[in-house]
Amino acid sequence: MAHTVIDITKELKELGLKALNSGTSTGSKWMSNDLDPIASFSPVDGAEIGKVGVTTEKEYQEVIAKAEAAFKSWRTVPAPKRGDMVRQFGDKLREKKEALGKLVSYEMGKSYQEGLGEVQEMIDICEFAVGLSRQLHGLTMHSERPNHRMYEQYHPLGIVGIISAFNFPVAVWAWNTALAWVSGDVCVWKGSEKTPLCSVACQNIIAEVLADNNLPEGISCLITGDYKIGEIMTNDKRVALVSATGSIRMGKIVAETVAKRLGKSLLELGGNNAIIITESADLEMCIPAMVFGAVGTCGQRCTSTRRLIIHESLYDTVKEKLVNAYKQLRIGNPLDENNHVGPLIDTDSVNAYLAAIEKVKASGGNVIVEGGVYEGEGYESGCYVKPSIAEADNSWEIVQHETFAPILYIMKYSTLDEAIALQNGVVQGLSSAIMTSSMREMELFLSTQGSDCGIANVNIGTSGAEIGGAFGGEKETGGGRESGSDAWKAYMRRQTNTINYGNDLPLAQGIKFDL
């Protein structure tokens, strides 16, 4: 890969980014302090893109105070009006899609097409939320008492704290905020310290919308820093809901901390996703699903395909096709649309990837596509790696663990029951898939005897969810649901109401209480 000078000056300017940016905002108001800022280095070429200031505890308190004040007025705005604000935000994203997509690609390392796709996810969830703003519904129920009416309704929670990860530096925030805003909540976002410029760029965009509509400071807030500022937020009883995306280790800490104060948490954690390749599978359809699932975003999606469970009759054929497909992968600058795979996020991730490969070999795994780090001109950042494939046993510790890198484990099975047991035989429960031409196999996989994951697909891969469906997983993936369907209910509190429009006071269950 020839070395190319990458210039995104135009995009940075369009997104309102400078060499030094504040990382603390309550809308259009930005705060500054004397602490050392975070420097954002691109994994694409190792260049410094810009710096972002970190949030102090004092500034955090100011942010929360603004958010509390904003909630008191925002919750009284009719939901369709709140939806109109989200519509305008979606329109701004359309205007800045190319610039923001390019920043996502350059700061995170995913391909430019994936960067554009991530911004499209933001636009899509805005559209979903706009429609939802006219459909926030409850139920009407018949009362057992005469002249009584019962119904339930949903009210906003208050402050929603959002902790997002580097691999989807903008979309996951939008999944949460779009729904939270139409629900009447206000949001405080701690983006990943590995992609801080993406967070600032998004805050700049929503700040324009808030200013255009003369809406109060505090509806959308940004804080920046490492886990310490996240700890302050998760311990804060004023934050009604903490939505956290990241590792299982991090999620357990968040869940315990928030539970201790009886707050609410929404967790989207690790995945160890498998595709089952049955005897009846269409292999021409399987190959792109398997390869993109394993190497898309350089294996740094929570829905990335980690394991292939292949019927023994097709095992050698699939293995050969995979090896040939991997030979065709182009690894390099993700802004060059001829390339398939960009870099890992940083050298720490590279080291974790190399350590995982060594553990596979130490466990007795047969590495059929060797991994390693790319060196030379164009790979100076040290973050480019070769996607690897290894024959492995599902029970090995390294296979049970999610390595956020392009390592694919393959294994064989004899019966579908055995394949489903292998698929379910990990602690994570996010995404799963089966490739089959048999309706019986499909239905069994989707039945109560089948996949135990929050997402179960047929004849598509494990990654690439649409916003219309609820996104999330079971077991140690956390159990949360974001995005579509009725995920909006996580951002609201349910209230049951009973109205007596009669002249008597009958008690429920026929209880008599005469005075």
Active-site residue set: 268, 302
Residues 6+ apart with CB under 8 A from 404: 167, 299, 300, 349, 352
Tell me the three-class secondary structure of 94-123, residue by residue: HHCHHHHHHHHHHHHCCCHHHHHHHHHHHH
Nearest 10 degrees: Cα torsion 368, 373, 378, 380 = 180
Question: Looking up tokens 């956390």, which residue turns up?
Answer: 478
Element (H, E) at 127: helix 112-132
Of the candidates 187, 195, 188, which has an alpha carbon nearest to the alpha carbon of residue 165? Answer: 195
Element (H, E) at 366: strand 366-369
Of the candidates 104, 100, 108, which has an alpha carbon nearest to the alpha carbon of residue 44? Answer: 108
Question: Alpha-carbon distance 351 to 320, whole Å?
Answer: 28
For the chain, how many helices (H) and strands (E)?
Answer: 15, 24
Classify residue 243 as left (phi > 0), alpha (psi -120 to 50) or beta.
beta
For 58-81, letters b (16+ CB in 10 Å) and e give ebbebbbebbeebbeebbebebee
3-class state of residue 438 by DSSP: coil
Q: Which two tokens stand for residue 44?
A: 């694409």
Please report the DSSP string for 57-86 in residue order: HHHHHHHHHHHHHHHHHHTTS-HHHHHHHH
Q: Which two tokens stand for residue 182?
A: 């139409």
Residues 6+ apart with CB under 8 A from 362: none
Q: Which two tokens stand for residue 463?
A: 């990654």
Sheet with strand 388-391: strands edge to edge = 366-369, 388-391, 407-413, 305-311, 273-277, 431-435, 455-458
Indicate if the alpha-carbon torsion angle 9, 15, 16, 18 is positive or negative.
Answer: negative
Of the candidates 332, 296, 287, which has an alpha carbon nearest to the alpha carbon of residue 118? Answer: 296
Question: Looking up tokens 């995104």, which residue turns up?
Answer: 8
Q: Which two tokens stand for residue 361?
A: 């070999």
Q: How far is CA 472 from the centre of its chain?
A: 9
Contact in structure between 465 and 457 (CB atoms under 8 Å): no
